[in-house]
Amino acid sequence: MLLCIDTGNTNTVFSIWDGTRFLSHWRIRTDHRRTADEYYVWLSTLIAVQRFELQIDACIISATAPRVVFNLRVLCNRYFDTRPLVVGKPDCLLPVPPRVDAGTTVGPDRLVNTVGAYDRHGPDLIVVDFGTATTFDVVDIDGAYIGGVIAPGVNLSLEALHMGAASLPHVDVTMPATVIGTNTVACIQSGVFWGYVGLVDGIVDKIRAERDRPMKVIATGGLAPLFDQGFDLFDAIEDDLTMHGLRLIHDFNKEMGNG
Ligand SMILES: Nc1ncnc2c1ncn2[C@@H]1O[C@H](COP(=O)(O)OP(=O)(O)O)[C@@H](O)[C@H]1O
Ligand SMILES: CC(C)(COP(=O)(O)O)[C@@H](O)C(=O)NCCC(=O)O
Ligand SMILES: [K+]
């Protein structure tokens, strides 16, 4: 079975592909100090709870936080006796290389999203990922990642307001009933929620204008459904897009005789 690991700046998600489907997924806070032994104890406990057999023979990792890769590699080597593929490293092949400025390191999550979305939806896509950062990844006719947009994430924006303004409390994101807030919390929620609806709408419009062609918008990340309440921002929401992309990249490398 294939172990897929997606490390974002906030959370790390593990999932196991049994050859036909993903068995389940498990989420742990991203922390580069976490050791291989800690990961293994945590993962094997959860797998036992769900009564799955832990028979991993291949691993693939996407890590936006590079420092976590060392311990994840040790986990794969020591406990699963495999050498993991690490997306973004030269020895991990991609079906189509990204077309960006020379020397640019594209976030591996964005490359993986591109592969997953192109497989499901074909060419001319904008993938919006609501993670720590909100990213827009533009997918060309041949499936290549050709650039995009990085904006501060929803929770990061809320946190920044709280950190920077003495009288603003920490607030959870939600869709406020009205745009005009009549208390501090409602005002903040309105600013962030409607601000993000406007941000997504505006950026998608501008990308479409710049590309001068119709483009589908695919959303992923935990907060995507929040922004899908009747605004018609997205053509599809897919919470498993990154895992799907990881599996495809693994299969592609296998087909090419790599790893
Ligand atoms: N279903 C959800 N509801 C509310 N907040 C969420 C949900 N899923 C994720 N988040 C929050 O969204 C932010 C980004 O999470 P995540 O998508 O795991 O980011 P990353 O991939 O960058 O680690 C975090 O602050 C997380 O707590
Ligand atoms: C933009 C990101 C911080 C998003 O990370 P995430 O929100 O998934 O934690 C990550 O993809 C990254 O560090 N990218 C490197 C720069 C780039 O993609 O151009
Ligand atoms: K992201």
- Note the pLDDT tens digit of each residue in 140-177: 999 999 999 999 999 999 999 999 999 999 999 999 98
Q: Which whole number is the average pLDDT over 115-138?
A: 98
Question: What single-letter DSSP state applies at residue 87?
Answer: T
Give the CA distances from residue 147 to residues 66, 72, 98, 116, in Å, rounded to whole numbers and listed in that order. Answer: 20, 28, 8, 16
Residue 9 labeled ligand binder: yes
What is the distance between the alpha carbons of residues 24 and 31, in angstroms, rounded to a whole number? 22
Specify whether 109 is catalytic.
Answer: yes
Q: Residue 27 pLDDT > 80, yes or no? A: yes
Q: Residue 10 pLDDT > 90, yes or no? A: yes
CA of 115 to the centre of ligand 1 (A): 21
Q: Residue 52 pLDDT > 90, yes or no? A: no
CA of 128 to the centre of ligand 3 (A): 8
Return the structure tokens found at 86.
């690490």
Closest Cα to atom 11 of ligand 1: 222
Closest Cα to atom 8 of ligand 2: 8
What number of H helices and E strands is found in the chain? 6, 10
CB-ligand 2 contact for 132 (6 Å cutoff): yes
- Note the pLDDT tens digit of each residue in 195-209: 999 999 999 999 999
Residue 155 labeled ligand binder: no
Give the H or E element holding residue 147: strand 145-152
On whether the CB atoms of residues 168 and 184 are closer than 8 A, the answer is yes
CB-ligand 2 contact for 9 (6 Å cutoff): yes
**3-class state of residue 26 by DSSP:** strand
Residue 242 labeled ligand binder: no
CA of 59 to the centre of ligand 2 (A): 21
Q: Residue 230 pLDDT > 80, yes or no? A: no
Residue 230 backbone zone (phi > 0: left; psi -120 to 50: alpha; other: beta): left
* Mutation to probe ligand 1, out of 29, 34, 62, 155 (largest number of atoms < 8 A from CB): 155
Q: Residue 231 pLDDT > 90, yes or no? A: no
What is the distance between the alpha carbons of residues 155 and 145, in angstroms, rounded to a whole number? 26
Domains and CATH numbers, the chain: 2-86 (3.30.420.40), 108-240 (3.30.420.40)
| pLDDT for residue 13 | 97
